[in-house]
Amino acid sequence: MKKLMIAMAAAAVCGAAFAEEETATNAPETTVEENDSIVSAEASLKFDSKYLSYGFVDNRAPILTPGAEVSFFDALTVGVEAIFDTTPYGRAAGYGNRGGKYSELHPYLEVSHSFTSEDFEWLPTTVDVSLNWMYEYHPEFKARHGYHDRTWDDNTHFLTLEFGLPDLWLEPVFYIERDLMRDDGTYVNLELGHTFALVEGESEEDDAVLTLRPSVAQGFGNNQRVKAYAVRETYGEGYNRAGFMDTMFKLAMEWKLCDAAKISGYVGYSDFLLDRRIRHGARNYEWSGRWDESWNFVCGLALIVGF
């Protein structure tokens, strides 16, 4: 029933977009040039088989993440997303039973721009730049595992700077993230991949209808970031230092249903391949004690609708 409802909603959105396009086609010609939309909006619903942070398991059970955002002049974006636990996993992991309830809330603000040779003559290729601020809010709960009768305060702010070179064949994306409150940690990540058009658009100007993108990404954390995730009192010494963290191999697909809606999905394999001691810490990270390996297979689906 849920799949049927999603399909009906996507069909309705596509039908409305088609009707709008047909009306515009039949409208009288005008000499006024079409400008980019001043305001645009997007709603999404994402499913992930696991919730990973820097390759470490924050929730071994599936999660749902609804989100919405509004963009102005294709440069300033204001949005929010919420992570919903689908099982009582949090009871075993130490942050309370959040089954069917949200476990995190992420309001965010982003400024972005694509720089080309038209902006700077010395640029050899397009450079996408974005600066993002996000607040991570957790509902109050009574923590366990040594923190009895104390309200867990895990809220924090993140600041992320991202650079992308979309016109190069390997489409490199590099970002650096700073945790401003909780862990005072810094994390950087470099991703390389390529987008293959499996089904082209109707014209050269149109986006591809179906794409496939294999990629590989490598993370690196400073000593505060590594310590925050890889160290617990019973895990031993040697993790309070910077090091290579998660390596992610991913295969992603995107299907453009129409101009207003698309479905995306991915499968991925994550492990800590370049640092033995951090890999050992990852085996012991999950508080519920149901996992003793550092690797994870993950997958996800997302429905995204634009307005």
pLDDT confidence tier of residue 27, bands split at 50, 70 and 90: very low
Token pair 């596509």: residue: 14
User: Is residue 218 within 8 Å of 274, Cβ to Cβ?
Assistant: yes
The pTM (predicted TM-score) of the whole model is: 0.83
pLDDT tens by residue, 45-93: 999 999 999 998 888 899 999 999 999 999 999 999 999 999 988 776 6
What pLDDT shows up at residue 153? 65
What pLDDT shows up at residue 99? 83
In terms of C-beta density within 10 A (0-12 exposed, 13-18 middle, 19 or more buried), how is residue 38 classed? exposed
Domain boundaries, the chain: 2-28+37-306
From 3.40.50.720, 2.40.160.40, 2.40.110.10, 3.20.20.210, which CATH number describes the 2-28+37-306 domain? 2.40.160.40
Average pLDDT for residues 217-233, to the nearest whole number?
A: 82
Nearest to 246 by CA among 50, 64, 99: 50
Neighbouring C-beta atoms of residue 90, cutoff 10 Å: 22
Count Cα atoms within 13 angstroms, Cβ side, for 125.
Answer: 12
Average pLDDT for residues 165-180, to the nearest whole number?
A: 97
What average pLDDT is seen over the chain?
A: 84
